[in-house]
Amino acid sequence: MTDFEDMLSEDDSALASSFDHAPLRLTVDLGAMADNWRDMAKRSGKARAAAVVKADAYGLGIEDAGQTFYRAGARDFFVATVSEGVTLRPYVPQARIFVLSGVWPGQEADVIGSDLVPVLASEEQLSHWTAVCAQGGEHPCALQVDTGFNRLGLTVDDALYLADDPCRPASFDPVLVLSHLACGDTPSAAMNRVQLESFQKVAAAYEGVESSLSASAGIFLGPEYHFDLTRPGIALYGGEAVNDAPNPMRPVATAEARIVMIREAGEGQTVSYGGTYQLKRASRLAIAAVGYADGYQRSLSGSGIPLREMGRGGAYGFVNGHKVPVAGRVTMDLTIFDVTDVPANAVRAGDYIELFGRNVPLDEVARSAGTIGYELLTSMGLRYERLVLEQA
């Protein structure tokens, strides 16, 4: 019996049966997710920890993630869009939900009806929202300030001016002022201190209003960066938050692909499109039911792409206790793994190769693709059969 089966209840049996035979499957461990939130809440010290659940909770399911974090104690949530906030609301009934993209004409009813807090990031949004509140009554908002990222937010000078403006609309009454670090995942970056000092001025100008600067990476920079509210995201889902440092978070997602067939190929033969991967010995190849249509990116290929030509190693999977490298190019629906070093009686068609999870760290796979764990999680396609492991 597998570890996954041990954790299933009788009510899950039908789902488990479907899961057991799916070409692609994704296991989401809500217990690990909750533990990761509690870990980040502890690291946040005196600050409260929110939960960032945008992009369908980084691809893992906003409904399940929202409930999980809410039960663990989170009372502040961040989404990217109004529609995400509307979806989340029933699962976090007493929480504040901040919408990072703010509000635009036509979205007011959803914002107010679902009691969302728009994060105003421009003069246009500020003007629109104050007019809405002046006409329809007060409703909370937040203000985003750009401290060096050059993305969303008022400039520091404009935010400071607004704080002291005697003509500031009475309907503008933010409950939170926030900014975002550009280099938080690199603790030695001088930019972190520059942004911190800029944001300290803004936070001081908005006396009595809560402030927030740090997402996952910023939390690891220490108490000076925590302010009143932190915004952990990728760390909650098991991803690395800080470059070149051990990852203390528990893995949450495990992706697996079923082996469709195993074939034998001779020395000197080539593998996959372009014939760029030439076998140096007689080999056994496992053909797995996953490809770039499923978010297993072409850049993970074992050969025939610029990253491999630059000397960077390709991805590997894990099957029955063995690491197995990707052979040749990843294709739309199929990927070939070299299982020559796995004993013949230890791997067969129908077995599953772990793509990332407990044995293949998410961010190691991401580095092989020349990207980050965020992108792998949020790029998974619709063909994964999902199994959600409930909290113990």
Other Cβ atoms within 10 Å of 291 Cβ, number: 21
Q: Is 33 annotated as a binding residue?
A: no
Q: Is 54 a catalytic residue?
A: yes
Distance CA(216)–CA(52), nearest Å, equals 10
Cα distances from 283 to residues 216, 221, 280, 321, in angstroms, run: 43, 48, 8, 19
Distance CA(254)–CA(7), nearest Å, equals 15
Catalytic residue among 54, 58, 206, 374: 54
Pairing relationship of beta strands 142-146 and 154-155 according to DSSP bridges? parallel
Tell me the residue length of the chain: 392
Distance CA(27)–CA(49), nearest Å, equals 25
Q: Is 46 a catalytic residue?
A: no
- For residue 52, which of 71, 37, 38, 42 has the smallest C-alpha distance? 37
Q: Is 151 annotated as a binding residue?
A: yes
Residue 207's identity, in one-letter code, is E
CA atoms within 13 A on the CB side of 370: 14
> Helices (DSSP H) in the chain: which residue ranges?
3-6, 13-20, 30-43, 54-58, 62-72, 82-88, 108-113, 123-136, 156-164, 190-205, 216-219, 306-309, 362-368, 373-378
Residue 321's identity, in one-letter code, is G
CA angle 210, 207, 145 (to 5 degrees): 60
Catalytic residue among 42, 237, 273, 280: 273
Distance CA(128)–CA(105), nearest Å, equals 8
Annotated binding site for substrate: 151, 332
Q: List active site positions.
A: 54, 273
